[in-house]
Amino acid sequence: MKCRYKLNALDCANCAKKIEEALNKEDSINKAVVNFAKLTIVVDTDNKDAKKLVQDIVKRVDSDVKVMDESETNKNNIKFDIIRLLLGIIFFILSMIIHIPLIHQILIILAYIVLLFRVIKKAFLMLIRSFTIDENLLVTISCVGAYFTNNIHEGLMVITLYEIGKILEGIAVNNSRKSISDLMDIKPEYANLESNNKIIKVSPEEVNINDIIVVKKGEKIPLDGIVIEGESKLDNKALTGESRLTFVSKNSEVLSGSINMDNVLRIKVLKEYENSTVSQILSLVENATDKKAKTENFVSKAAKIYTPIILLLAILIIIILPLFPSISIHDAIYRALVFLVVSCPCAIAISVPLSYFSGIGASSKNGILIKGSNFLEASSSLKEIIFDKTGTITTGDDLNYQLEILDKEYKKDEIINYYVSGEALSNHPIAKNILNIFNDIKPKKVNDFKEISGKGITFNIKKDNIKIGSSKYCEGDTNDNGIYLNVNNKNIAKLIINDGIKKEAKETIASLKNLGINVKMFTGDSKDIALDIASKVGIDDVSYELLPKDKYELLESEIEKYNGAVAFVGDGINDAPALRIARVGISMGSIGSASAIEASDIVIMNDNLDSLLTLFKISKKTNKIIKQNLIFAIGIKVLVLILSGLGLATMWEAVFADTGVTLLTILNTTRILKNKK
């Protein structure tokens, strides 16, 4: 079973990685994922006392971190750290003012104790509990070493600036966490349930299918349902990223997470909360960091060996430098201490995962749901995008149609009823089109309904055996784009729906080409229709009359051709096989569709193709900022490390290369959250 907990007082990304590693080494834990950006931990284990097990392991890594249930509130330790810092600074200043030897020495020792207490405690516990060397030990060695090499005030300045940096770092990270949480603040807190002619406030989890709920002006719709009374306008921005309000009235389907902006609505619940749109979105985003990007995994592995190597190099500096006549042992030790201060990998350990999570959060704000940082990373390096047609490039909801009756023994109303009765049980976009066109027709009772993917449907009404689908499926002798109706092995009608092209399709495809991305279209439609649509939107390479199996096989060859850098964009219903094998499977125009979320790696919650451009913009910006952070952090550290070895850098430069660089990379990362469409 999966257990989810909160983590309190976790202020170090490197520690978060060590906690995750320690948990995954435990035999009774199948998998553990620590999310530093959201201070959460998810553990898959059969252990009955999972929380105690997790807490014991966490304590071995960081004694200050507390494991809490999701309902508990995180406590902010920054105030205590600020008070401790101010007290240490007061002792430091007094030691510089008071020159009475004994009092002067006592004040210095008190300043060291107050300022170094947290760092020494963490270093000691980490060393004895998990035999791990981390930044706390390096800072401890540096400051204590500075004291004993008679660089007392410089040692105090190092720990003071280090603590100031850690506090500012904590504030910056917390602000980033808040920004990301605000983006996904779509969970409804309660539902107004009608019960015995009364309205009572209950948790959305307590509401059942077919219950009636009331949503007042300004409230979030807590569960997916259908309006049975009232009309209003809904704000779907949290779901789709679109600021335009949506009008709903009786019989309109509404999604959880939408905000009622006008009149009172009575809604019949269609899904329990755990299967609702808002629950699926929150679950998807919560678990997005489980799938880590290559860069993130590389940083995690590098961080394990980085600190021990630095410690070894510091020892070599102490041993080798005194061999030169101009360098004393005292000077060599000082250079080694500076070397140690620089070595903390926090700037890299924090900025990389925080950048990916910020990118996922910014995408969510624009109605783009990404299942993992690996898919966000891959989106920036795509070489080809293959589009499905219906519901992707075309709207799939144009109400213009032509009905041709092939057997005059059947009346128009009877034929339409056959179409509606069968398509009412299908989820295909064309089925929805037919139901939209003939929305005033009441379907008949259907038996033995079957849907053959990519071909059509078959069912019985009384004694009649009916097929609806392509000419080939209905055993016709033509090859056109008609939707045929076959009753008892005889084609009696043909329906043609004019599938309108999305208004932004041509411009979006032109923009993709300008980005150097090759664009193709795979469709099951006939040659004439496929080529006509493709020419209108600017796609030159088209494959038509394809079954789902054909799309899969063609996509495999494209993936091999472009070394995997291929995305497939489909409706999330019939394109599941293709969506799964593409490096990035993107579902379009399937708002609230469970099959879309399940089958694809990225879900576009609105029906707009230009959201793809927003996705690529955020992806490229995220990767660009990660590269900036890595180059800046590594570059500064290497520079100061070299200067410290040459004796040209002091503790001041070392502290900037550690906490200063960390703070700057975090602030740079927050620029991702300011992304605009």
Provide the annotated active-site residues.
388
Left if phi > 0, otherwise alpha if psi is -120 to 50, otherwise beta: which for 263? Answer: beta
Cα–Cα–Cα angle for 115, 153, 167, rounded to 5 degrees: 35
Instruction: Report d(CA 589, CA 499) in Å as an integer.
Output: 14
Instruction: Report d(CA 254, CA 232) in Å as an integer.
Output: 11
Instruction: Report d(CA 599, CA 596) in Å as an integer.
Output: 5
The structure tokens listed for 470 are 């392509």
Instruction: Report d(CA 420, CA 364) in Å as an integer.
Output: 36
What sign has the CA pseudo-torsion 555, 558, 563, 569? negative
DSSP string, 152-171: HHHHHHHHHHHHHHHHHHHH
Instruction: Report d(CA 356, CA 114) in Å as an integer.
Output: 36
253-254, strands of its sheet edge to edge: 198-202, 191-195, 212-215, 265-269, 225-229, 253-254
Cα–Cα–Cα angle for 577, 360, 605, rounded to 5 degrees: 55
Cα–Cα–Cα angle for 393, 396, 399, rounded to 5 degrees: 135
Instruction: Report d(CA 270, CA 249) in Å as an integer.
Output: 16
Which amino acid belongs to residue 135? E
Burial class (CB in 10 A: 0-12, 13-18, 19+), 233: middle
H/E element holding 68?
strand 66-68
Rg of the Cα atoms in the chain: 31
DSSP string, 105-130: HHHHHHHHHHHHHHHHHHHHHHHHHH
The structure tokens listed for 476 are 């016709």
Which residue, among 9, 10, 22, has the nearest Cα to 132 in the 3D structure? 22
H/E element holding 40?
strand 40-45
Which residue, among 268, 188, 270, has the nearest Cα to 222 in the 3D structure? 188
H/E element holding 32?
strand 29-35
Q: How far is CA 263 from CA 214, 247, 610, in A?
A: 11, 11, 32
Partners of residue 66 on adjacent β-strands: 8
Under 8 Å between Cβ of 142 and 335? no
Q: How far is CA 87 from CA 123, 143, 154, 323, in A?
A: 22, 18, 18, 42
Q: Report the b/e string of 582-605 with b at 16+ CB within 10 A.
A: bbbbbbbbbbbbebbbebbbbbbb
H/E element holding 627?
helix 611-645
Instruction: Report d(CA 215, CA 259) in Å as an integer.
Output: 9
29-35, strands of its sheet edge to edge: 29-35, 40-45, 2-8, 66-68
